Amino acid sequence: MSRLDSFIRRMTSQKILLEYLVDKVNLVEGPVLELGLGNGRTYDHLREIYPDKEIFVFDFAMNCHPSCAPDADHMILGDIRDTLAFCAPRVRAQASFAHIDIGSADPTNDLAIVNWLAPLIDERMAVGGFVLTALELDLPNFELLEKPEGIHPGRYHIYRKF
């Protein structure tokens, strides 16, 4: 498969999964967390599919397309390892949904990320809340959910806090 085909497949899966979770997430109280603004593609989509939810976005810097820049109250700048740990006074409620899009292309770096990220995510999520991520997280308080048909096995993971 060419890198173009692989990219298209990844983006298609991401969109299908984000939309698949909307009705379930809307049954849970709490804001949405977008970890990894990047150029703002998935944030822009989250805004569209969650018009009634507050969305807090995390990244080192705001480098997105100007049309999808979060406002200052909802853009949390800095290393997520620090900001996720200390965002409670700003985000207030625990989250109904976290979309995690901060993986690297390097498996060792990804292992380091999941090690610090999993306990922080556990702390920030509401009971019943959903996490969508390409990273495999060790989340003892969560169940791993089935994905809709057509999603490449192993590519994304959906966790739900119980």
The binding site for ligand SAM (CB under 6 A) comprises 36-42, 58-60, 79-81, 101-102
Nearer to ligand SAM, 58 or 159 (CB): 58
Distance of alpha carbon 99 from alpha carbon 35, whole angstroms: 6
Segment (H or E) for 144: strand 142-145
CB 136, min distance to ligand SAM, A: 16
Q: How many CA atoms lie within 13 A of 120 on its CB side?
A: 19
In contact, 65 and 105? CB cutoff 8 Å = no
CB 151, min distance to ligand SAM, A: 17
Question: What is the Cα Rg of the chain in Å?
Answer: 15
Nearer to ligand SAM, 110 or 122 (CB): 110
CB 113, min distance to ligand SAM, A: 7
Three-state secondary structure call for residue 97: strand
User: What would the two tokens of residue 104 be?
Assistant: 């690297």
CB 78, min distance to ligand SAM, A: 7
Nearer to ligand SAM, 84 or 139 (CB): 84
Nearer to ligand SAM, 109 or 141 (CB): 109
